[in-house]
Structure 1
Amino acid sequence: MTFRFVVILLICIISLPSAIAAQQRGVTVINDASGNDIELYRESYALLIGVSEYTAGWPDLESIPAEIRDVENVLIAQGFHVVTHLNPDREALEKAFENFIHDYGLDPQNRLLFFFAGHGETRQNGRKGYLVPTDAPLPTKDKKGFLRKALPMSQIMAWARLIEAKHALFLFDSCFSGTVFKQRALPKIPPHISSLTAEPVRQFITAGSAGETVPANSVFTPVFIDGLKHRLADLDGDGYVTGTELGVYLQGKVPQHVRQTPQFGKISDYELSRGDFVFLLDAAESVANTPLEKSKPLQRATYVIRCFQRWSIFLPVHLIWVNRMRRL
């Protein structure tokens, strides 16, 4: 019995680094509060768009390129493949979304994150929102030109419905009315990971509401980065940050530093609003490249126990193979 245990234990320990490395590339399975495995994503992709240099009247936002680089770094550490576009005009902005969705949005096992930093505009008493590309004029000076060049949030919603990836999170470091999506009152205590988490979802978080302005130096973006990088958005301490947790964290933290109140919501389609986007915080730590004795004891022990349980099923076959090797 002791020999059998040693064989399985050695197999588990040898396979531990590669198992953790595979988990780093995305979120393949997570554990709910009951310890059950929930399959989520095989691959993760992020589209980052920053508009800092405006050519038709809007004030420039000089800090955006550096902020986009910071977001890119934290998402790469999270296992995302990142595509970045800076200062697109209307045509380039539209193509950036369409190409990204065509390339990565049609696989149900993908996780998609969209991040836009730049000016936003709300019209018709908050019923319509727009992303402002480099070549959009001020609506107060050229209304028709603005409507021709700005990208309406209705188009973002259409793309969100077109996506077949299980989870998509849209983050806008811009200010809109919450009525452009299905705004929800966020819970004081976010729900724990459950089987419902894996259901499809399209979530939206904006830096502020209609009438609020984007500051020259963003607060929303560094608060978002700190939430993942320093685990501040993990409100229940389970090692994961859900889209809901991120919304609660941003709504509580950003107004402490600037007159902006982030807005959170989901798409109005019921079938696309049941799940929750998930970040695995451990993915940001290079566990796979760390010697076994320095990796997290709990993570190590949990994996070995599960590995033991699974390999035990095939124990007789492996013992036959081991015994044959010993006779050589």
Structure 2
Amino acid sequence: EPSPKRGLKVTTASANVLIKGIANDISGIKEVSINSKIVYAQKSGDFWGEIPLTEGMNQVTITATDLVGNKGIQIFEVERMVAKPIIASTNEVIIPVSEKIGKNICLLIGAQNYSDVNIPSLSNPIADAVKLKMILKSTYNFSDENVIQLFNPGTDDVKRQLLELTNQLQPEDNLLIFYAGHGIWVEKEKKGYWLMTDAKRNDVNTWLPNKTVLDLVAKIPSRHTLLITDACFSGSVFKTRGLNDAAPKAIQEMEEKISRIAITSGNDTEVPDESVFMKYLIKALSTNKDKYLTAQKMFINQILEAVMTESKTEPRYGTLELAGHVGGDFIFIKK
């Protein structure tokens, strides 16, 4: 049983702090608490929870309990400073004008009507993509000319569009890619695929490998790239499988650093046509009150537990399996 450890000190101006970490034990982790409050923990050991802070020094005690009852304790301090006037309103941080000059580009891919009778057509991908388009245009800084629609595309259509984005985007631009449609996992190869509408169920050469998508996305010179997929077996796009980063960074720092992030409706499992994930994604973006909303905050606070409560799928957030991520995050900026 490890002894309590002390020594880390964190300083912040926020009234609340989100704490994340990983608890490991050979027997498995039963639960994790922060200041005696049970917080959410995944099977992988990743855990997170938000705690309030009073002004001055706050002691934070994290307790992990394994499956046989042993406890490990980590103690550290968080000092809440009096906020300086860079705060525009609650949880709202001003980003310098120089950080706002890039365009927000959105690529919507909806594969719904399949030509092969062995691949069942779907009912909702295009409607879901349109819902996302409407909220991005009406509430966030996505102009109509910067929203690209690929509805019922073939495999070559998707590859061609991703190649075009390589030439169209500049290093200060941000890119959101959304895919809804069929996905498939080949266990023998340990590979995941997207199925466009010209795919043949019995011909793997007509499928679009996740690796091909990621290779093409890696060439796009955007500052931030967020890939959102609502498809079966979509977890194979990740380099990291969970929330393994350190404590949340300031909005300015996340804006400045390049990011390559994905949010998926499930891991390596099937997901339903009528998507619970999409329901809560749209709800999160529609009801958001913050001027600046990071993809990670949206996922943790409004998507993860809501989806898992209502369905058998576990949505995922993590770093894309490609070069370029250096610690930033995609930020939705309200008009």
Please state how far the C-alpha of 1:70 moved relative to its aligned partner.
Answer: 0.7
Higher relative contact order (CA 8 A, sep 6+): 1
Q: Secondary structure at the match of 2:251?
A: coil
Q: Secondary structure at the match of 1:245?
A: helix
Structure 2 partner of 1:195 = 253
The answer on 1:137 being equivalent to 2:190 is no
Structure 1 partner of 2:14 = none
Using the alignment, how far apart are the partners of 2:318 and 2:160 within structure 1?
25
TM-score (norm 1): 0.66
5 Å matches for 1:213-224? 213-224=270-281
Q: Of 127, 132, 144, which residue of structure 2 is paired with 1:71?
A: 132
5 Å matches for 1:38-187? 39-56=99-116, 57-77=118-138, 78-80=140-142, 81-103=146-168, 105=169, 107-124=170-187, 127-138=190-201, 142=202, 145=203, 147-176=204-233, 178-186=235-243
Structure 1 partner of 2:294 = 242
Structure (1/2) with the larger strand percentage:
2
5 Å matches for 1:161-310? 161-176=218-233, 178-186=235-243, 190-210=248-268, 212-231=269-288, 238-248=290-300, 249-268=302-321, 271-281=324-334, 283=335
CA 254–125 in structure 1, closer or farther in 2 if over 3 Å, else same: farther
Q: Secondary structure at the match of 1:112?
A: strand
Using the alignment, how far apart are the partners of 1:54 and 1:135 within structure 2?
6
Using the alignment, how far apart are the partners of 1:217 and 1:69 within structure 2?
15
> What stretches of structure 2 of length at least 5 have no aligned partner?
1-86
Shifted more, 123-132 versus 153-162: the winner is: 123-132
Q: Secondary structure at the match of 1:122?
A: strand
Using the alignment, how far apart are the partners of 1:44 and 1:61 within structure 2?
29
Using the alignment, how far apart are the partners of 1:33 and 1:185 within structure 2?
26
Q: Secondary structure at the match of 1:208?
A: coil
CA 130–260 in structure 1, closer or farther in 2 if over 3 Å, else same: same
Please state how far the C-alpha of 1:93 moved relative to its aligned partner.
Answer: 2.4
CA 161–100 in structure 1, closer or farther in 2 if over 3 Å, else same: closer
CA 35–44 in structure 1, closer or farther in 2 if over 3 Å, else same: closer
> Number of matched residues?
240
CA 44–124 in structure 1, closer or farther in 2 if over 3 Å, else same: same
Larger Rg: 1
- 1:128-187, Cα deviation, whole Å (9 max, x unpaired): 21111012122xxx2xx1x21111111122122211110010011112253432124327
Question: Which letter maps to 1:252?
Answer: E
Using the alignment, how far apart are the partners of 2:323 and 2:158 within structure 1?
28
Runs of 4+, deviation exceeding 6 Å: 30-34
CA RMSD for the aligned pairs? 2.8
CA contact (8 A) 2:215 2:322 kept: no
CA contact (8 A) 1:46 1:83 kept: yes
Using the alignment, how far apart are the partners of 2:234 and 2:249 within structure 1?
26
> What stretches of structure 1 of length at least 5 have no aligned partner?
1-29, 232-236, 284-328
5 Å matches for 1:10-25? none
